[in-house]
Amino acid sequence: MSDSFVHLHLHTEYSTLDGACRTKDVAARAAELGMPAVAITDHGNLYGAISFYKACKSAGVKPILGCEIYLAPEGIEDKKEIPGRKRACHMTLLAENNVGWMNLQKLVSVGHLEGSYYGKPRVDRELLQKFSEGIICLSGCISGPVNEWILQDQEDIAWETAVELAEIYGKENFYFEVHNHGMEQQAKCNEVLVRFAKKMGVKTVAANDVHFLNRDDHEAHDVMICIGIGRLVIDENRMRYPTEVYFKTAEEMRDLFAEIPGACDATLEIAERCNVEFVLDPTSSEKYPEFQPEDGSTPNEFFRAECYRGLEIRYGERAKEPELIERLDYEMGIITQLKFASYFLITADFIVWAKNNKIPVGPGRGSAAGSLVAYCMFITDICPMRFGLLFERFLNPERVSPPDVDIDFCQTRRPEVIEYVRRKYGERCVSHIITYGTLGAKSVIRDVARVMGISYGEADTISKMIEAKPGVKLAGEYKEKAELRELIESSSTYEQLWEYALKLEGLTRNVGVHAAGVVIGDGNLDEHVPLTRGNEGEVVTQYDMGAITDVGLLKMDFLGLKNMTVIQEAVDHIHTHTPDFDIYEISLEDKATFKMLNAGETMGVFQLESGGMVEPCRKYGINKIEDIIDLLALYRPGAMQYIDQMIEVKEGRQRPNYEHPLLEEICGDTYGVMIYQEQVQNAAKMLAGYTLGGADILRRAMGKKKKEEMDKQRETFVKGARETNDIDARNANLIFDKIAGFAGYGFNKSHSACYGFISYWTGYLKANFPVEFMSGLLSNEINNTDKIGVFVNECQRMNFEILPPDLNKSQLRFSPEEILGGRQGIRYGLAAIKNVGAGAMTMAIKDREENGPFESLDDFCNRLDSKTINKRILENLIKAGALDWTGESRAGMTARVEKVVASASSAQKDRAAGQGGLFDAMQFAAPPPVSDKSPAIEEWPKDERLEHEKELLGFYVTGHPLDKFRGVVDSDRFIKFGLLDEVDLSDKRARFPFAGMIRMVEHKTTRTGKPFGVVHIQDFTGDREMVCWSESYLPARDAGLMEAGKVIQFKAQVSVDDRTEQRRLTGSQIKELKSKRKKVGGALELILWTGRNNPDDLQKIKEVLREYPGKVPVLMHIQSGAGKRATIELPESFNVNLNPALQRELAGWMG
């Protein structure tokens, strides 16, 4: 027997925040030490199996696949504490062969799906028996089921447990596992286990419960443990691992177990026996489900029939054109040859089902739009022939990879599509896909600092020096940034922090569920992949996207796109007056749409609404959908430099330079600039004779810029250019270099076309059905108060009004409503009011539709179940203005809510008990007038009413604290807070002008004793925080400007907070902003809305004012829904005596 050794009990990083071994490092270390094999046995999961398998194969080491399972004391259905027993014991299981791997996969899956208890996926003895074939069982670590009884000095039960396990797996497959980390408990167990082994006639096997690779990794591992359990390193009573659980050499292990002969040799024996082989083929479709046509035909026959049927529907008479038939036949041939027909049929099936069930589906996404087959099967809605899209960009016969169709669904109804697929193919045949979160460069600094007891501020300072971008590494940042090096080297504590962070960076921290990925199997998925559950109870694969592809399973991306939901809501509103409207059939040459986009009015338009896109839209001169598609492709780093050049050519002020006449044919439509990957492919095909498949390989090589591959492709290109078009080597090399330069930033035209359609659809709706579109837009930002403020501002700019919530008029979500003068406004949705609940409001709307409008606060309470409409909901409805139609003041209604609720509850109980019958038949006098019911109290001040609206609705509906400053704060002089994310930050020194009203000031002091302030400030579009350092803060404070309610103007630097990734303001040059309006001290202010009030309101106001003559002047504000306001000071003859009675009668118009 060799003197080597094999580690059979090892935890990788997939034992999250417990194991610190990276799979590649494990394989490399085993190879370095000459070990023939190594095992993976993570805690209760098989997350890392594929990664580990590939790493070992690459390193020339045999992978042994196993798991340290959690064994329940009784059945997994017994989820309860059992006195004197652990919730679960640990046991090491190894797959001997592929049958064993299949059984281990199923066993672990059952544990996750059915046996979870206190976060541990437990299995029981019955399951061990059921899935025992092909498994080698080691008795486990100190927490094993045999050791549990040995440590309690109950050897008889320990022996019975060992016998039971040996009977389940067979003596030849059962080993007593011994560990030696210098612990007394282990020594005690080992002595008994050796005796048991001799008595039973089985072997002992040595293991080291490896958790990290090197002895000197122990401290970093200990820090990681603290991150996982939320404790400080210095805490005394916490979980700790011994120093010894590292990847020891064979010599170290044999020295350690010299007194237990054969324990180390047994590892080699087991390694020899374990032979699991995976077939990892991402191009295989063997595990894809096969589509079963209802007409009895084969999938290939049905596939061809569906394609030809779709061709006729899509193209009508043109379906007979040779070009279309040739392209379709070519694509069908490739697809059937690669055995992907079922893939297309399955995809088409659920997309068509979604459309038939009025679930919005995007026009396509990514390279799938390049397929005529996909278009004819209604998988996509973009004609690849019109837009010059290439099939080979989607499915390359010369570089076979599985098709990847990503589909955008309406965000709210996406789950319905997944549920349809689950029903069709089986509950256990469809699953979501896991994701692994890691200790990233910035987050690992914060995590390590926290458990080391380093202050948040210090950790924040270091973390902010790390670049916030994908792929950033600590080592690279340290090398490149002198300031960072100086800070780390300034403190031994920081140096220790950095050392730990370097060792832990990139390790798996947690697991999640992929936002869109779904796997569909040809049978139960646990035949191919282990399963677990997500936080919502959904079934999830234990393999991530990469491993799923390696295994050869069918993966789909069911993406939820909010814009599709917006479009559908807008279309639903349109159908109330134009039932035949179909967004898929609209003209692609709508002048109103292009006019709006050219004016830069792109707010809410998909992909065109960012501040950086507004100016290109204005300059580019959009007059066809292809212009939108081009702009989407250009608005990226690198490509943006060509926008102005393309405009110059487009406008005829500049001529493009073509090195060969064929280049004009290839990129003439994009004004001489090769902005698409498809153009790169066409250039290679037309100029150098490449096939489109070969051209796609060239495009990939150019994108990766690998010199060896580029040199090889250059030689092929130059040779092909000479043979195909007689282009000499010099010019061919020049053309190759030009194409290579474009390929570096070239965009996938198929994807740009797909998103260009959605941009056009949203633009079309905004230009032609603005109220319906903005209603949908607002409804889908209910929880984003910043966005709501911006969109309300946009509605006002478009000259239509946002109407306040109204229990007798509002729907659940924002909806169009005709207002005075026949104009359209948007009514605030009841479900958008915070803390009232969609369920309660659904019942209110149902009652209103069945029994007519509510007549009063009392009527509303009496008609709805008091268990549904409680005191809190009522108060929020009143404060939001949803009961203003009653004529009562908000303060008055709030004061009597409790009595109203109690009265309604009592009446409902009486009716339920049958006591209402006698009295229900009797006629009573009408209830007393509302004014008699309302307590004689003053209405809340305007500012208080507005604050309630802001709190509950996300913006001010019946006015704004800054109304007096309209025309100033919302002028072009100042940047709007709601548009802060669109400010160009390329000039780091730029200071931008802002204005707004202070809501609150946090007065603070720096560590050096300097005062500063965090100012919460708002304008008409939203709220922001501004930091004001001492040099700006002190003068403003001394001038009395650092107070709530003050309206100020200031300059501010805009930067991005590394931690939150939100934009933040640093203010300076703070001054008071003056109103243009003349002040009238102590005046009564009334508001009449042009869209909400009528002449009857004016007459009523006049009568009330006459009833209360006095000395207080009256201001009448005439307010439009577009934010415009005119103010009139009424003649002295209308001056009033201000008192609660007057306020109650004027409550509906109080300003």
Residue 935 banded pLDDT, cuts 50, 70, 90: low
Q: Token pair for residue 1100? A: 């009523």
Residue 1103 banded pLDDT, cuts 50, 70, 90: confident
**Of 414, 431, 409, which Cα lies nearest the Cα of 422?**
431
Q: Token pair for residue 560? A: 């939820």
In this prediction, residue 951 carries a pLDDT of 85
**Which residues of 898-1028 form beta strands (DSSP E)?**
992-1005, 1011-1018, 1023-1028
Helix ranges restricted to H, 635-706: 643-650, 661-667, 677-688, 692-704
**In this predicted structure, which of 70-79, 142-151, 416-425, 1122-1131 has the lowest mean pLDDT?**
1122-1131
Write the DSSP assignment of 1003-1027 as a string of letters.
Answer: EEE-TTS-EEEEEEEE-SS-EEEEE
Tens of pLDDT, residue by residue over 900-910, are 888 888 877 77
Helix 611-620 × helix 625-634 angle, to 10°: 130
In a domain, 238, yes or no: no
CATH number at residue 1021: 2.40.50.140
In a domain, 496, yes or no: no
Domain count within the chain: 5
Tens of pLDDT, residue by residue over 710-736, are 888 888 888 888 888 888 888 888 888
Helix 456-464 × helix 441-452 angle, to 10°: 160
In this prediction, residue 1081 carries a pLDDT of 63
What is the extent of the structural domain holding 873? 806-953
Same domain, 39 and 99: yes
Residue 1115 banded pLDDT, cuts 50, 70, 90: confident
C-beta separation of 726 from 660 below 8 A: no
Which residues touch 876 (CB under 8 Å, ≥6 apart)?
A: 833, 834, 835, 836, 952
In a domain, 783, yes or no: no
CA dihedral 936, 940, 942, 945 (to 10 degrees): -130
Residue 102 banded pLDDT, cuts 50, 70, 90: very high
Same domain, 942 and 1050: no
Tens of pLDDT, residue by residue over 160-186, are 999 999 999 999 999 999 999 999 999
Same domain, 936 and 978: no
Q: How far is CA 952 from the centre of its chain?
A: 25
In this prediction, residue 1076 carries a pLDDT of 61
Percent of all residues in the chain with a pLDDT value above 90, rounded to a whole number: 54
Same domain, 949 and 988: no
Single-letter residue type at 500: Y
C-beta separation of 874 from 901 below 8 A: yes
Instruction: Judge whether residue 914 has pLDDT over 80.
Output: no
Range with the largest mean pLDDT of 224-238, 963-977, 1051-1065: 224-238
Tens of pLDDT, residue by residue over 45-58, are 999 999 999 999 99
In a domain, 834, yes or no: yes
Rounded to whole angstroms, the maximal C-alpha distance in the chain is 114
Tens of pLDDT, residue by residue over 555-565, are 888 998 899 99
Report d(CA 132, CA 124) in Å as an integer: 12
Q: How far is CA 471 from the centre of its chain?
A: 19
pTM (2 decimals)? 0.81
Residue 400 banded pLDDT, cuts 50, 70, 90: confident
C-beta separation of 79 from 117 below 8 A: yes
Report d(CA 774, CA 791) in Å as an integer: 8
Same domain, 946 and 1090: no
Tens of pLDDT, residue by residue over 599-609, are 989 999 999 98
**Which residues of 728-868 form beta strands (DSSP E)?**
802-803, 815-818, 824-827
Range with the largest mean pLDDT of 49-58, 512-521, 673-682, 1057-1066: 49-58
In this prediction, residue 945 carries a pLDDT of 87
Same domain, 56 and 201: yes
- According to DSSP, the β-strands at 539-541 and 531-533 are antiparallel
Q: How far is CA 956 from the centre of its chain?
A: 29
Q: How far is CA 830 from the centre of its chain?
A: 26
Mean pLDDT of 911-940: 51
Tens of pLDDT, residue by residue over 242-288, are 999 999 999 999 999 999 989 999 999 999 999 999 999 887 888 88
Mean pLDDT of 411-421: 91
Q: Mark 366-399 as b/e (b = at least 16 C-beta within 10 Å).
A: bbbbbbbbbbbbbbbbbbbbebbbbbbbbbbbee
Tens of pLDDT, residue by residue over 763-792, are 999 999 999 999 999 999 887 766 777 788
In this prediction, residue 930 carries a pLDDT of 39
Tens of pLDDT, residue by residue over 345-381, are 999 999 999 999 989 999 998 889 999 999 999 999 9
Kindly state the helix (H) or strand (E) to which residue 559 belongs, with its residue range: strand 554-561
C-beta separation of 282 from 401 below 8 A: yes
Same domain, 1067 and 1088: no
Q: How far is CA 1004 from the centre of its chain?
A: 35
Tens of pLDDT, residue by residue over 808-845, are 999 999 999 988 777 888 999 998 888 888 889 999 99
Same domain, 976 and 890: no
**Of 773, 863, 986, which Cα lies nearest the Cα of 781?**
773
Same domain, 198 and 78: yes
In a domain, 859, yes or no: yes
Same domain, 59 and 206: yes
In this prediction, residue 680 carries a pLDDT of 83
Residue 918 banded pLDDT, cuts 50, 70, 90: very low
Single-letter residue type at 288: Y
In a domain, 323, yes or no: yes
In this prediction, residue 409 carries a pLDDT of 92
Q: Which of 1072, 1096, 1113 is the last residue of a domain?
A: 1072
**Of 478, 443, 504, 509, which Cα lies nearest the Cα of 213?**
504
Instruction: Judge whether residue 128 has pLDDT over 80.
Output: yes
In a domain, 95, yes or no: yes
Same domain, 34 and 157: yes
In a domain, 774, yes or no: no
C-beta separation of 233 from 222 below 8 A: yes
Q: How many Cα atoms are found within 13 Å in the side-chain-facing hemisphere of 821?
A: 14
Same domain, 1024 and 1131: no
**Of 681, 753, 687, which Cα lies nearest the Cα of 717?**
687
Report d(CA 196, CA 564) in Å as an integer: 66
Q: Which of 1072, 1100, 1125 is the last residue of a domain?
A: 1072
**Residues β-bridged to residue 554:** 520
Q: What does DSSP assign to residue 939?
A: P
Residue 928 banded pLDDT, cuts 50, 70, 90: very low
Tens of pLDDT, residue by residue over 561-617, are 899 999 999 999 999 999 999 998 999 999 999 999 999 899 999 999 877 788 888
Q: Which of 224, 258, 273 is the last residue of a domain?
A: 273
